[in-house]
Amino acid sequence: MAARAGKETRHALAARKDDFYASPPEAVAAFLRVEAAFLPRNLWEPACGDGAIVKPLRAAGYRVHATDLVARGCPDSRAGEDFLMPFPVPDGVEGIVTNPPFKLAQAFVDRALLVVPYAAFLLRVGFLESAERRAWFQEGPLARVHISSRRLPMMHRDGWEGKKSTSAIGFAWFVWDRRHQGEPVIRWFDWREHA
């Protein structure tokens, strides 16, 4: 998405290519604080990109297996792996933490929940607003939604050379956790408190 004169506009799919928007470090720092009590120690980041999620998780002591379809510079990662295609799950993985291509977000969640009991995804808050996903949300083990009460720093697509703008889109960490019982819990965080 791009902001023009206070309005949101969509970039053409051709311009967005494989939808790579690096996660802001502020979002990852906040996630580590708000999910610390639930986060498994052995994780997989299947859309690791440049390592924006992988590096802080590793620095915090988590074991993180990193893969992506495209090599983008994430340290100690494997490229050429399409998360949506069947291949062996890395040994010992207990959870997935990622910021997937938004156009494939639901497919990424479905695949994640087939292979691990815990999955955390950085997604637009608008991911909740789909008539088609209503039944899907009601059937799945959505446990927590951590909404950023302050807009995250703008995530510009890879290679963007245009004007840098502030974000007009709300983001949240969506957490599916098979240990959770009951209705999903909605919480808010201010990333500036965790930066």
Residues 110-160 have pLDDT tens digits of 999 999 999 999 999 999 998 989 999 988 889 999 999 988 775 545 454
Distance CA 47, CA 70 (A): 9
Stated pTM of the model: 0.84
Percent over 70 (pLDDT), the chain: 82
Is 147 or 15 the better-scoring residue by pLDDT?
A: 147
pLDDT digits 0-9 by tens, 94-105:
999 999 998 999
pLDDT of residue 3: 41
Q: pLDDT tens digits, residue range 2-14?
A: 444 444 444 444 4
Of 68-77, 114-123, 146-155, 186-195, the range with the lowest mean pLDDT is 146-155
pLDDT of residue 73: 92
The pLDDT value recorded for residue 25 is 85
Q: Report H helices in 116-180.
A: 134-139
In the beta sheet, which residues pair with residue 145?
A: 174, 186
Asked if residues 44 and 90 have their Cβ atoms less than 8 Å apart, the reply is yes
Joined together, the tokens standing for residue 44 give 């997989």
Q: How far apart are CA 75 and CA 51, in angstroms?
A: 7
Dmax over CA atoms of the chain, in Å, equals 49
